[in-house]
Structure 1
């Protein structure tokens, strides 16, 4: 299997240069066009004495030398520009060309005209509509790193979690800090049911800002959480290698799962498989726990530090899936399309893998825009997928969830810019308006109103 794609990377502070350049009379930034592909290797194509490498699938990431361009942000639309630093070309081979085809204040659409290809590669580069800065922490004077973000269903609040127990609510309309939720001692990794590296989960009242309940039971930092249905039960994963099913009402653990390798569980996602029944047990003799609700037909998927992906039927308490990723699994998301149930995983080596849960013998797709870790995957509207990356990129992928055809090839359609190579730790999509929020190591919460192709 091989998925070779062309990608573009634009100078992160291009919008700042565009604004400043209006006065200086020079509005130039750099853009690179490069080819990158991932394919599975045959078992006999390489050997390794590392036991872990013997288990994980062997993949080869192939890339070609990039073409480097100096892009005039004020150039006439559709004016094609040749590279300032072209890659080595064979005799008779043509150069790639780029052109800005549309522009607004916050975004530009760039086309890369690839030699020997009919259709150009099209990407929208989107700058933030607003950037909010975290307050310096008392005692240290340092701006805290941000790890996680989520948006309330009514879009009134944006919740942000970060280093040293930081958990704050922002007013989504005014873009001002509304209140701070104090209680965690170490880094907050998920909100607004929150999980922290202090081994606990907390349930908060948004109205009062007070902690309503503390869930204790993990012996390692909480890495990820998931809410089932209306929220009577929640799930958590931890560096202790365990997944817990909790009763919020009593704060009790009503079920738990481990893994044979005792590997840290980095991420969770839940799929309702009751309609497709790709993995869920058709019948089970297990009666639900008296504190258990809305678990029938639900499969929880977990990404492990050792590269495994586990699937568990929550009601039946049975493992239904065990896959091997390409590296430590940092993020995962499940979705059901009209044609198939899918699982997406993002790994430490920057590979986005799509699995058809009806047939998991081989990945459906392997994609990679860079070698930076994929810290979060979110399935949005319009059958698109958002990924947050360790190199400061946040990408919107098209045709990953739908059928991949000759005319509909999976690729990046929108790239959010802003951070100067600081890792994007999380991304959240507002359920009604589609606004996109990201948080980064630089301590900033960024708000985007994305434009799509």
Structure 2
């Protein structure tokens, strides 16, 4: 296992607005974990050869390439650099309280919920509310689209799962069975079955068509914080089920449910056989998990660690990133890497070990130290759910261009 020692380079959250004016300036900083930080400033001193001329006010920093929505900051003593990407839109009118969950569909619809239990369907182009989904009697912690993009799944403190029509706002299905708050959900293939996990220590498999629980996949004495499904095919021996599965169970063969627990355990459950196929103990509560490929998944922890695991060796992480002590609250798979959303508002792209140098990062800006609770991508844009009540929208092309420039050589 290798551990990455990369500094966190940060910039003023509204840097693109601050540097838009001649002589405008913004702050930058660089900090290795558990060490004092270094601070500096960047100033816009006009135009040189048709491009903005940014001057660093500290010898510790240099400015690389820049555009309307991106700027590259280099920490010269360590030669580490970060490309900062500003949002192309910020939707401020959808919610008034912290946005705790968000998802988007390719058809142009978004679903989100905030701390005042306002669950809404909205238009991802203009940020206009389309439907208010009102039936939960407690806080909603998670909302997700089915693959169709017109059906929504939600769950939360009232221990209920609800399935909604995004087009009409009606809720034809309510699933009941958990005895504590539902923390996370995932959809099996096209959505005839779904999985939910709860503070009651269980993961349950549901049949949406008959509004029934097909199985309790796991029962532990500790809260389950998060889950995701991974297709492993025949690479893991999941064994045979003790009892024949219901004919209502569809698409579970070759699927492993990855669970993250409050006590720091990561566990994989073969859904079809209900057997535990791996279990690893980490040093901190697991807040989020995400599948990166057919071979890898990533785990985000309360102590700030991010760990990469290979499906063929789940006892020891392939790689560990421990750049910050700020809790990891959300993860999003993106191309040859993943985004990490943290409690201090940082949202950083990490490349897989085979895809890029550790000295390079991409960070989404806009959150002024407010936690990033959730993230979603519709293929062309990334959306973040933040404590400041704003849903920010970022153009994926800015990230792809930064990755391409990094591969082609230094800025």
From 65, 68, 73, the equivalent of 1:102 is 65
1:202/1:211 contact within 8 Å kept: yes
Q: What value does the CA root-mean-square deviation take over the aligned residues?
A: 2.1
Q: Which residue of 2 aligns with 1:237?
A: 197
Larger relative strand fraction: 2
Runs of at least 5 residues in structure 1 that lack an aligned partner in the other structure: 37-62, 84-95, 137-142
Indicate the SS of the match to 2:292.
Answer: strand
**Following TM superposition, by how much is the alpha carbon of 1:135 offset from its aligned partner in structure 2, in angstroms?**
5.1
Once the two structures are superposed, what CA deviation does each residue of 1:80-127 show, in whole Å capped at 9, x if it has no partner? 7463xxxxxxxxxxxx63222222222212222235xxxx32321111
In the alignment, structure 1 residue 409 sits paired with structure 2 residue 360: no
CA distance in 1 between partners of 2:57 and 2:117 (Å): 49
CA 1:370–1:78 in 2, change beyond 3 Å: closer, same or farther?
A: farther
**TM superposition shift of 1:316:** 0.6
Partners of 2:360 and 2:105 in 1: CA distance: 27
Alignment of 1:244-283 (within 5 A): 244-260=204-220, 262-274=221-233, 277=235, 279-281=236-238
Aligned to 1:367: 321
Residue 209 of structure 1: how far off its partner (Å): 1.1
**Alpha carbons 2:42, 2:55 under 8 Å: kept:** no
Between 412-421 and 222-231, report the one with greater CA deviation. Answer: 412-421
- For the pair 1:445 / 2:380, whether they are aligned, the reply is no
1:376 deviates by 1.1
In structure 2, C-alpha distance between the alignment counterparts of 1:2 and 1:430, rounded to whole Å = 31
Q: Distance in 2 between matches of 1:286 and 1:336?
A: 31
- Cα 1:336/1:135, change in 2 over 3 Å: closer
Are 1:334 and 2:291 matched, yes or no?
Answer: yes
How far 1:306 sits from its partner (Å)?
A: 0.8
* Residue equivalent to 1:90: none
Q: Deviations over 1:274-312 (max 9, x none)?
A: 05x1x3426556532121000000000110011111110
User: How do 1:185-264 residues align onto structure 2 when only pairs under 5 Å count?
Assistant: 185-191=137-143, 192-260=152-220, 262-264=221-223
2:371 to 423, 426, 441: 423
Is contact 2:267–2:280 with CA below 8 Å preserved after alignment?
Answer: yes
* 8 Å CA contact retained: 2:367, 2:386: yes
Q: Corresponding residue for 1:308?
A: 265
Are residues 294 and 258 of structure 1, via their aligned partners in 2, closer, same or farther at CA, if it must alter by over 3 Å?
A: closer
The equivalent position to 2:115 in structure 1, one of 153, 163, 170, is: 163
The whole-number CA distance in structure 2 between the counterparts of 1:403 and 1:15 is 32
Q: CA deviation at 1:363?
A: 1.5
**1:130·1:446 contact (CA, 8 Å) conserved in 2?**
yes
Match of 1:88 in 2: none
Alignment match of 1:288 (pick from 223, 245, 249): 245
**2:174, 2:109 → 1: CA distance?**
22
Question: Is 1:114 aligned with 2:77?
Answer: yes
Q: Is the 8 A contact 1:7 1:412 kept in 2?
A: no
* Count, aligned residues: 386
**Matched residue of 2:317: which SS?**
coil
CA distance in structure 2 between the partners assigned to 1:303 and 1:366 by the alignment: 17
- Calculate the TM-score normalised by the size of structure 1: 0.80
CA distance in 1, matches of 2:89, 2:372: 16
**Alpha-carbon contact 2:31-2:38 (below 8 Å) kept:** yes
Query: Bigger relative contact order, structure 1 or 2, given CA contacts below 8 A and separation 6+?
Result: 2
Q: Secondary structure at the match of 1:442?
A: coil
Decide which of 37, 43, 47 is 1:66's aligned counterpart.
37
* In 2: Cα distance, 1:253 partner to 1:259 partner: 14
> Hey, what does 2:29 align to over in structure 1?
32
State the secondary structure of the residue aligned to 2:361: strand
Question: Does structure 1 conserve the Cα–Cα contact (< 8 Å) formed by 2:94 and 2:127?
Answer: no
Asked if the contact 1:78–1:100 (Cα under 8 Å) also holds between the matched residues in 2, the reply is no
2:329 matches 1:379 = no
Displacement after TM superposition at 1:320 (Å)? 0.8
Residue matched to 1:2: 3
**Distance (whole Å) between structure 2 residues aligned to residue 127 and residue 384 of structure 1:** 19
Q: Distance in 2 between matches of 1:283 and 1:219?
A: 29
